[in-house]
């Protein structure tokens, strides 16, 4: 009986850790690639699992300065959790560098 309890506690701990530290980012590609979920390790633990860049729609991305205040805040939160970057312009540069050309 105690082995079952220990297994349950271990499994629950593993699940909670994964939930807090692993996220899925919605990747949007062109018509050939389509879209997919890209797993990543969060830089800040959160209960949110599914993430999406609030500045990106299809292949186009809106510059940070053109976003309204709500989307700016969402972008800052996204960059902080996804990349650990808290400067929006540095985050934009990083995202552009990581983009498949």
pTM of model > 0.85: no
Two tokens at 74? 């969402």
pLDDT of residue 32: 65
pLDDT tens per residue, range 61-81: 889 999 999 999 999 999 999
DSSP strand pairing (50-51 vs 22-28): parallel
pLDDT tens per residue, range 15-42: 999 999 999 998 776 666 667 888 999 9
Assess contact for 100 and 32: CB atoms under 8 A.
Answer: no
């Amino acid at each position: 009986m105690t082995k079952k309890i220990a297994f349950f506690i271990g499994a629950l701990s593993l699940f909670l850790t994964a939930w807090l530290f692993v996220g899925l980012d919605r990747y949007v590609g062109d018509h050939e690639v389509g879209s997919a979920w890209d797993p990543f390790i969060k830089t800040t633990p959160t209960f949110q699992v599914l993430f999406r860049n609030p500045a990106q729609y299809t292949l186009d991305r809106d510059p940070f300065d053109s976003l309204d205040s709500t989307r700016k805040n969402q972008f800052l939160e996204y960059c902080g959790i996804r990349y650990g970057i808290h400067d929006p312009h540095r985050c934009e540069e990083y995202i552009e560098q990581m983009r498949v050309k």
